[in-house]
Amino acid sequence: MSQTSASPRDAAAPAFVMPAEGDPHDRTWMAWPGGGYTLGDSPADAEEARATWAAVANAVAGFEPVVVLVPHDELRHARRLLSAEIETVPAELDDAWMRDIGPTFVHDGEGGIAAVDWVFTGWGRQSWASWEKDARIGRRVAELAGVPVIASDLANEGGGIHVDGRGTVLATRTVQLDPGRNTGITEAEVEAEFARTIGATTTVWLPRGLTRDSERFGTRGHVDIVATLHTPGRMLLHAQPAEEHPDAAAMREIRAALDDARDASGEAFEITELPAPRTLTDAEGPVDWSYVNHSLVNGGVVACAFDDPNDEQAVEVLRAAYPGREVVTVDARPLFDRGGGIHCITQHQPSPRSLGS
C-alpha cells in the first residue's frame, strides 16, 4: 500500500497526539526472534525463545488481532506455535523487540492514525547490537498498517516513553539525552520533538532506569520497566524493598524526582507501588524483573510472571489499577534473560477516534 509523509499544521493545537495505551486498539504488532542472542546458543535456547514469544502473541490474540513480522527461515516455527488467527508477515529483522524497532502510533487532527518513525540505532549504538534491518521496520509496519509516516530525527524507542494521552510523557535522561543516541541534544529539543510528534506538552524526566538495564546489555534506562501512567494522574511505579538490591537506591532517586513532578494538568501524581519479585539475582547478577512491563490490550492486561511469590500480589495490583480488565500472565523470565519483557515485544496500534470523543 502506498505511503505518504505527514506534517504538523498548528503548534497551538497538536497535529498528532499519542493516545493512552489503554484506549481501544485495532491490533498489536510483534516481531519474531530470528537469530543471535535472542534465539541463543542451542536448539533448546531457540525453542525456549520461540515458545515465549508465541505465548505472548497467543495471549494477546485472545483479546485483539495480532500481526507478527517473521524472518523467512523462522516462518515454519512461527506457524507451528502461533494461533491460527494470528497473521504472519515475512520480514528481514535484526532483533525482535517490536516496541523499540516499530513505530509509535498516534492520532492525527481528524482522529485518524499516523505512525512516528523514530531513528533506531541499536539502543545507542551498542557494540553488541545490529540494527540495519530493524531501522527500516518503523516504515515497514506503517506501510502494512496503511497509515502515513511522521519522520523524526530523534533516536528513540517505544520503550523509552509512556504517555497518559492528555499531554504527559514519561522519559529518562539516560535514554533520549544519551550521547550514543542523540549527540549534543538538549532537554528542550527533545521536548519540542515530543510535542511535534506525540503531542506531549509536559515531559516528566526520570533521572535513570533500573540497574541491570543500565549496564552493557541494557537499554540505558527504558521507562517501561520503571513506571507507567495507567490512568491520567495515576502511576504504577516499580518498587524494590530489598536494600541489598541496587535498585532500592535507584528507585529512591526516581521516586524523589516523581514526588516533585507534575503532569500536563499541573497535578501531582498519585503513585501506587508495584513491588518487584522477591527473586533478587540470577546467574548474571541483580535482576531487573518488573511487573510494570505489562501490555494493555482490549479488555485485558498481559502481564509478566516470574514463578515468584509476588506474582499473585502483582496481579491483584494490576486488577485494581485496571478495573474491568482481565489479567493474564506469561512467564517472562526467558524474555528478561534476553533483555526485555512483554511490553518490549509488543507495539499497540490504536483505533481511529471520532473528533467528538
Catalytic residue annotation: 344
The contacts of residue 225 (CB under 8 Å, 6+ apart) are: 159, 209, 210, 213, 238, 288, 290, 292, 293, 341, 343
DSSP state of 185: -
Report the C-alpha gap between 269 and 266 in whole angstroms.
10
Q: How far apart are CA 73 and CA 318, in angstroms?
A: 37
Spatial separation of the C-alpha atoms in residues 219 and 159, rounded to whole Å = 9
Rounded to whole angstroms, how far apart are CA atoms 96 and 77? 15
What is the Cα–Cα distance from 138 to 121, expressed in whole angstroms? 12
Q: In whole angstroms, give the CA distance from residue 151 to residue 338.
A: 29
Place of cell 485495532: 26
Amino acid at site 188: A
For the chain, how long is the longest CA-to-CA vector? 55
The C-alpha atoms of residue 161 and residue 201 are separated, in whole angstroms, by 14
**Cell numbers given for 70:** 517473521
Core vs surface per residue 289-317: b (16+ CB within 10 A) or e? bbbbbbbbbbebbbbbbbebebbeebbeb
Query: How far, in Å, CA of 69 to CA of 88, rounded?
Result: 6
Half-sphere exposure in the Cβ direction for 128 (13 Å, CA) = 11
Grid-cell match 523514530, residue found: 118
CB 97 within 8 A of CB 340: yes
